[in-house]
Structure 1
Amino acid sequence: MTGPRVAVAGVHGHGASHVRNVARLAEAGRAELVGVADPRPTDGVRAFDSLEALLAATEVDVVIISTPIQTHVPLAALAMRAGADVLLEKPPTASLAEFEELSAVVAETGRACQVGFQAQASEATLKLAEMMAAGELGEIRGISAVGKWVRTAKYFQRARWAGKRRLDGVDVVDGAVTNPLAHATAAALLLDRSTGVDDVRSVETELYRANPIESDDTSTVRIVTARGTTILVAVTLCADEHLEPSVIVHGSTGRAVLRYASDTLEIHQDGCMTVKKRERADLLENLLDHRADPSVPLYVPLSATGGFTTVVEAVRVADPPREIPAEFIRWEGEALERRPIVLDVENWIDRASNEFALFSELGAPWTAQSPRES
């Protein structure tokens, strides 16, 4: 038995990991890789230069879409209308209008659309959500999502859409908040049980950039959910060193730190700290299980990313990121390895996280002097 027929659209970059995962499941007899779609040449598998050509040539049960953000909606719609279920990489859409459009296709076709927020399939995330719901951390004072990452010039030159807010007249909405560190925001919303569009009351954005790009690379975002919870997102791609991102739950009787990349949950309570690494379910396997038995729920159905897409929408309509003045940046490396380090950004991120404050409210020095782009 070979299992459902799976295709992958977009196989360079992160898409390569999806190809490897399908190959792993194929060895176990759970899936069959029937082809890949990518305009760039690909070795080793049956390749097509477009998803349309692939779907015309072979029967497909599941399509994994790991393509540029601005192509997500048309490709997912194409796959679902061809009768396939979809595993769609994050962010699922670049706007709320696109989210509504894709949601309508899900309703129209009855197909499943799982979104690639892997942290939401982690036992660490789900355990923390259970603890919060049970009141084990006391009253929740707020949640913060923290990311201190390093990205070089190579990262922004890997594709035409990288670092862009719009490309060829189409919304892309790339940026630290909406793409590389999107998992942190999405996990924070899940922990608050605020995953739907109507679960987000307000979003404030402060977007900055040290790199010569259109999108943000150093930002704070403050979300207030319909439950009244404040979620403070503080992230940068211009840190001194690359650290694992985290989601921090601040409770009246304890504090929890979720390090979602390693599925680690750290609890601080009653003067003690406990750390436990947990397992993570595979989103493709979960989608295959759901196909076989619809009573098996998806970990991340499209409908559960509405709250996150509301944040994407706020970033999309915000003013362009302010440029951080040169005196607050130290540059390292050469050519494709060249990167900016925003001076003392780690301290400002920690303060934002602890105080639920935006960079400007804390008095971060670049906020007062940053020129506004026209």
Structure 2
Amino acid sequence: MTAPSQPARLAIIGVSGYGSIHLQLARESRQRGEAQITAAAIINPDQEAANIAELRSHGAEIFTDYTEMLRAHAGRIDLCLIPTGIHWHARMTIAALEAGANVLVEKPLAGSLTEVAAVRAAEQRTGRFVAVGFQDFYEPGTTWLKEELDRGVIGEIRSVRFLGVWPRTRGYFTRNDWAGRLAVNGMPVMDSPLNNAFAHFVMLSLFFVGGQDLVLEGAELMRAHAIESFDTAVVRSRTPSGVKLWFGTSHACADTVEPEIVITGSRGQAAWRYESEAWWRAADGRTERRALLDITGARRAMFAAALARLRDPAARICTTELAGRHTALIESIHRQGRIGVVPTAEVNWTGANGMTTQVPDIRGLGEALRRSYAAEQSLAEAGFRLGT
């Protein structure tokens, strides 16, 4: 715990890419007198000269190796920020915990359940906490909706369904060494829409259902992009108590569908709509709603929660237990599902031929996803067939 009058001592591993988001959040916290980056590991110093100069001007020590940073600052880091690639999450988190730091790690928690178990063991062993960066979990409207569901405003939950479609260019999957990969140098990644861009909303769906195990009932997985993993999926599962879950996502569709979660209960319905609102409506006509923060606001809420946890063990964070449920689902999808390659004749690429800005559009997918979502069916049941 940090003294209430002292700014929290932060370390950060990486300031490029998504790391720039964490850096900005830390910068805002420093300006409010809440926190101060005292150490940073930056593997590309030539490209980050301006940020390095700024960090040094505020007293931070710069390293090019995160292990050296943790060794040099062991016992002197209150919170270590880890906004890195999926295959680095577990090992960096464990190293930070063992150096005496609490951790805010980017989602997902890890690339496998084995890694999740290792992180949780380190957390228990060191007595430190790990907050996982599922930013929308920290949104006040999310907390409100969960509390309303738990008090039974729509009765018993019968089903939860989520749909999100964000077109992604060729360049999206060439931006780093792990995008679209199943593993990198033997380390699990399992990158996909469900484990990356839309992971937030899959995890929220699991959160709304509560701590129940899932049984996978079907996973339709396919790819149009030249990647190892899938860029399109419809996944159906259920809990032992019979709650049905449906997830539909794609990065290979020209349509954009902003993420939406719909929860159907025995006496009403609720919804959570990305950067828009959360609401519930009971069968007797009663209804309530809350506006949701935009993505910047959600990230700020996440950062504030991690800092609050340093001083208050009861402060709400996305725990490794909750994040582990998401990884369990992802692992079961990859274990039981088969990734199909979409025939080139079924894909229309928008944009100039061969350009990294091209986006694939699988023929008929957009409408099929909407039908499947509305009926909580598989794509096949909704009439989607490739090559017909």
Alignment TM-score, normalising by the size of structure 1: 0.90
* 2:29 paired residue number: 25
* C-alpha displacement of 1:116: 0.5
Q: Does 1:265 align with 2:278?
A: yes
Which residue of 46, 64, 68 corresponds with 1:49?
Answer: 64
* 1:61 paired residue number: 78
Which residue of 250, 254, 267 corresponds with 1:240?
Answer: 254
* 1:372 paired residue number: none
* C-alpha displacement of 1:293: 2.1
Contact 1:88–1:113 at 8 Å: present in 2 too? yes
* 2:335 paired residue number: 317
Contact 1:205–1:314 at 8 Å: present in 2 too? no
Task: Give distance in 2, aligned partners of 1:266 and 1:327.
Answer: 42
Cα shift readout 1:184-239 (whole Å, capped 9, x = no counterpart): 11000100113xxx632446322111111111111011121234211100000123
* 2:149 paired residue number: 132
CA distance 1:234–1:102, shift in 2 (3 Å): same
Task: State how 1:28-177 maps to structure 2 within 5 Å.
Answer: 28-41=32-45, 42-43=48-49, 44=51, 45-46=55-56, 47-58=62-73, 59-177=76-194
Q: Does 1:292 align with 2:311?
A: yes
Q: Does 1:365 align with 2:380?
A: no
Structure 2, unmatched stretches of 5+, are: 57-61
* 2:59 paired residue number: none
Task: Give distance in 2, aligned partners of 1:72 and 1:151.
Answer: 24
Task: Give distance in 2, aligned partners of 1:273 and 1:240.
Answer: 34
* C-alpha displacement of 1:266: 4.0
Contact 1:114–1:298 at 8 Å: present in 2 too? no
Contact 2:364–2:384 at 8 Å: present in 1 too? no
Task: Give distance in 2, aligned partners of 1:274 and 1:134.
Answer: 14
Contact 1:77–1:105 at 8 Å: present in 2 too? yes
Contact 2:10–2:80 at 8 Å: present in 1 too? yes
* 1:218 paired residue number: 232
CA distance 1:203–1:352, shift in 2 (3 Å): same
* C-alpha displacement of 1:143: 0.5
Task: Give distance in 1, aligned partners of 2:217 and 2:132.
Answer: 22
Cα shift readout 1:42-76 (whole Å, capped 9, x = no counterpart): 22235322211222333322111111111111100
Contact 2:154–2:280 at 8 Å: present in 1 too? no
Cα shift readout 1:238-260 (whole Å, capped 9, x = no counterpart): 23233321111123443322113
Which segment is superposed worse, 74-83 or 241-250? 241-250
Cα shift readout 1:308-329 (whole Å, capped 9, x = no counterpart): 1111211332455211122332
Percent identity, aligned pairs only, is 28
Which residue of 3, 9, 16 corresponds with 1:12?
Answer: 16
Alignment TM-score, normalising by the size of structure 2: 0.87
* C-alpha displacement of 1:273: 7.9
Cα shift readout 1:259-280 (whole Å, capped 9, x = no counterpart): 13x1521445567987531455
Contact 1:203–1:224 at 8 Å: present in 2 too? yes
CA RMSD of aligned residues (A): 2.2
Task: Give distance in 2, aligned partners of 1:182 and 1:176.
Answer: 7
Amino acid at match of 1:283: M
In structure 1, the residue corresponding to 2:258 is in which secondary structure? coil
Task: Give distance in 2, aligned partners of 1:346 and 1:144.
Answer: 17
In structure 2, the residue corresponding to 1:129 is in which secondary structure? helix
* 1:342 paired residue number: 362
Which segment is superposed worse, 38-47 or 283-292? 38-47
Task: Give distance in 1, aligned partners of 2:370 and 2:237.
Answer: 17
Task: Give distance in 2, aligned partners of 1:187 and 1:255.
Answer: 16
Contact 1:122–1:263 at 8 Å: present in 2 too? no
Task: Give distance in 2, aligned partners of 1:267 and 1:343.
Answer: 35
Contact 2:181–2:227 at 8 Å: present in 1 too? yes
Amino acid at match of 2:65: S
Contact 2:138–2:305 at 8 Å: present in 1 too? no
CA distance 1:180–1:7, shift in 2 (3 Å): same
Aligned residues: 363
Amino acid at match of 2:67: E
Contact 2:137–2:143 at 8 Å: present in 1 too? yes
